[in-house]
Amino acid sequence: MRRIVTLAVVLFPAACGGGAQSSVEATPTPDALPNVVRYAPANLRYRARQHRHVEQEFNGQVTANDQVTTFVLSVDLVADEGGLEATLVLDSIDVTGSANATPQEIEAVRGTRFSGMLGPDGRFAEFTGGDTTQPYLRQVAREFEEFFPRIPADGVAPGRVWSDTTNTEVDASGITLEISSVNQHEALEWTEYAGERALKIHTVTSYTVSGSGQQGGQELELTGAGRRYVDQFLSADGRYLGSIVADTAEVDVLVVAAGILVPVKQHGADTLTVVR
């Protein structure tokens, strides 16, 4: 049953020491705040911490597992005719607890370079990087492809509200999953984050999960749903400053041959900040 717990961790990745000086402008005064914020060239380094707490119930007993992932990511955005040419380098990564990859697989992704063209809405085009035959690297690449906040293509301003939907098929440790999400976004007022004036974007996501496949020689079927609350922060000059995420999901895992239904609950808490 441990592999089912591992699968639950794979289902809902979040968006993964050392310091580097980022190109930070002087904190703008309220009078200098722009009417609209758009993505702009930047060279930044981020530190992330992702915590997953997973509980599963079997034969009346509840088993709990925790996974903590930390990583440092360097991001370089350079102006280009088609948008912003982006280079992302995974400087370091560390996973403790119930990891969904071997130590060798985790070590192999360190130093991986990803690239793509970042559009004005925060979506990547032609996103590539690393050995795509490696399942864990594919998972990491999928997360980094969703790294930047989704905003309207013509920019975002306080009070603006928008929504979008996503339908994604992913391979999670032998299980093919379909994840459907409805995302409700709202740009709130200017606030302080990481020592700077920042526009706060609040997002509520409702999602469903379904899939099937094999793990440990067992045929499994999964169905479930979850909700995610995300606060993301953009500086006045268009730099992404980080995020705070809370996520809760409930999934039923059916072991087909045995006819056993295993309820799984997952709680996630993530933070992303700029390394100064």
Are 266 and 235 spatial neighbours (Cβ–Cβ below 8 Å)?
no
Are 114 and 71 spatial neighbours (Cβ–Cβ below 8 Å)?
no
Task: Examine residue 209 and state whether it is found in any structural domain, yes or no.
Answer: yes
| Strand (E) or helix (H) holding 198 | strand 196-215
pLDDT at 98 over 80: no
Task: Examine residue 211 and state whether it is found in any structural domain, yes or no.
Answer: yes
pLDDT for 13 equals 45
Strand, helix or coil for residue 31 = helix
| Strand (E) or helix (H) holding 67 | strand 61-80
Task: Examine residue 29 and state whether it is found in any structural domain, yes or no.
Answer: no
pLDDT at 42 over 60: yes
pTM of the model: 0.84
**Phi and psi angles of residue 50, each rounded to the nearest 5 degrees, phi first:** -125, 125
Q: What is the pLDDT of residues 108-119, one digit of tens each?
A: 999 999 999 999
Q: How many domains does the chain have?
A: 1
Q: Which comes out higher in pLDDT, residue 166 or 18?
A: 166
* Other residues' Cβ atoms within 10 Å of the Cβ of residue 256: 12
Task: Examine residue 32 and state whether it is found in any structural domain, yes or no.
Answer: no
Q: What is the pLDDT of residues 147-206, one digit of tens each?
A: 999 999 999 999 999 999 999 887 776 788 899 999 999 999 999 998 999 999 999 999
Q: What is the pLDDT of residues 123-137, one digit of tens each?
A: 999 999 988 788 888
Task: Examine residue 131 and state whether it is found in any structural domain, yes or no.
Answer: yes
Q: Could you tell me how many helices (H) and strands (E) the chain has, helices first?
A: 3, 11
pLDDT at 265 over 60: yes
Cα angle 208, 210, 213; round to 5: 155
pLDDT for 23 equals 33
> Residue 187 sits in a domain of what CATH number?
2.30.230
Task: Compute the 3-state secondary structure of the chain and give helix, strand, coil in percent, each to the nearest 5.
Answer: 10, 60, 30
pLDDT for 1 equals 27
Task: Examine residue 154 and state whether it is found in any structural domain, yes or no.
Answer: yes
**31: pLDDT confidence band, cut at 50, 70 and 90?**
low
* Structural tokens at position 79: 């102006």
**32: pLDDT confidence band, cut at 50, 70 and 90?**
confident
Closest Cα partner for 193 from 88, 77, 272, 76?
A: 272
Q: What is the pLDDT of residues 220-251, one digit of tens each?
A: 999 999 999 999 999 999 999 999 999 999 99
Strands 161-172 and 42-58: unpaired
Closest Cα partner for 145 from 124, 130, 120?
A: 124
Specify the residue for token string 């808490």.
269
pLDDT at 25 over 60: no
For the chain, what is the largest distance between any 2 Cα atoms, rounded to a whole number of angstroms? 66
pLDDT for 215 equals 81
**26: pLDDT confidence band, cut at 50, 70 and 90?**
very low
What is the domain range of residue 255? 2-17+42-274
CA dist 225 and 207 (Å) reads 6
Q: Which comes out higher in pLDDT, residue 169 or 95?
A: 95
Q: Which comes out higher in pLDDT, residue 28 or 117?
A: 117
Q: What residue spans of the chain are helical by DSSP H?
A: 2-11, 103-109, 135-145
Task: Examine residue 195 and state whether it is found in any structural domain, yes or no.
Answer: yes
